[in-house]
Amino acid sequence: MTSPRIPYGRHWLEEDDAAEVLQALRSDWITQGPRIEAFEQRVAAACGARFGIAFSSGTTALYGACSAAEIGAGDEVITSPLTFVGTANAAVYLGAKPVFADIDPASLNLDPGQVRRRLTPKTKAILPVHFAGLPADLEAIAKIAREKGLCVIEDACHALGAEWLDSKGVWQKVGSCSHSDMAVFSFHPVKHITTGEGGMVLTNRPELAERLRVFRHHGLRKVQGALAEAEPWRHEMDQLGINGRITDFQCALGLKQMDKLGRFLERRRRIADVYAQALEGLDLTPQRFDRERFRHAWHIYVVQVGLKTGSPDRRSLFQALTEMGIGVNVHYLPVHLHPFYQRTFSYRAGDYPVAEKYYDRTLTLPLFPRMTDGQVQEVVQCVGRIMEQEGAPHAAR
């Protein structure tokens, strides 16, 4: 399969990134060393949280967060059907049932009204997703959680650097956990910064931070008190955990990438602005939000094709752009439509009509910080040319 000339997403590594990794590889520590804690502190400080606990991937971080929340068999976790499968899988790993609530058609994030309708006595947690980098309505979700005594775990894997204005007029950073118990980030190569693979959970609660650290280390703790005096080498497992550890050389890369986060975010926002202006008037409906209240992190740029006029269809635009070397993608098949979820939990097409309607027409355009102005214009021109050739009418402005 030929790689596209312009991929939908791509990491940006420079010589100083490589130098940091090489320095870590030449040090006394390549895993479980000082760079891990330094990276954890750096990300937590950037987001305004007290504690950061790094993991080997965003998925293992989600798994750890659900474990720290003591989610288990018989529990239900409400989340969005519009997300990567790892979000819901984290609950399934622990024996819980993922219960989906439909999305808001404009923001594409969880609809708090739909969340409320899905509550049952078995509900243990709400797991909102900041889809594409746009903050979910955390105030409304937190209000529901407080009323019912539920845990809130943010899937912030798309949203490092995003912010939202609360009802008191204060800007809140995604990951500050001002309205949640934990927030989870991913450092996969197409995310805002990368450690290769990697993830992190942020929290302001020390007991959750401790559970997370123990979980990522097989559930093992060093014994305390008299037993430690007798057997100072002894570690005991009092909870089930996994090997979710990240390496020092990955965190060396992460630390250097954090130096560049502001530049990366600014570039993503600039590209998104160019798309919004250049594609206005075409029947391509972007994610809609109040720019006075939200600072989008733009992990991906999604549009719904032909939503207003029905032309062109998503399949033809996808195919034509692919043939031109433009690496378009689709994010995501709603989780409840995956065979495993239909087989295991009896979900069916039609259960979440807003998410399904979105999926039928969505297309992801290339967006990454290393993308040049010329590449951005090439994407815009190719999209416009295809829609003109297909005779697609312009949407009403």
191 is catalytic: yes
Euclidean distance between CA atoms 329 and 128, whole angstroms:
23
Q: Which two tokens stand for residue 368?
A: 């990454």
HEC sequence for the chain: CCCCCECCCCCCCCHHHHHHHHHHHCCCCCECCHHHHHHHHHHHHHHCCCEEEEECCHHHHHHHHHHHCCCCCCCEEEECCCCCHHHHHHHHHCCCEEEECCECCCCCCECHHHHHHCCCCCEEEEECECHHHCCCCHHHHHHHHHHHCCEEEEECCCCCCCEEECCCCCEEECCCCCCCCEEEEECCCCCCCCCCCCEEEEECCHHHHHHHHHHCECCEEECCHHHHHHCCCCEEECCCCCECCCEHHHHHHHHHHHCCHHHHHHHHHHHHHHHHHHCCCCCEEECCCCCCCEECCCCCEEEEECCCCCCCCHHHHHHHHHHCCECCECCCCCHHHCHHHHHHHCCCCCCCHHHHHHHHHEEEECCCCCCCHHHHHHHHHHHHHHHHHCCCCCCCC
Annotated active-site residue in 97, 191, 222, 308: 191
- Find, among 257, 251, 256, 244, the residue nearest to 25 by Cα: 251
Residue with tokens 């269809």: 313
CA torsion 313-316-319-320 (nearest 10°) is -110
Number of Cβ atoms within 10 Å of the Cβ of 52: 25
List active site positions.
Answer: 191
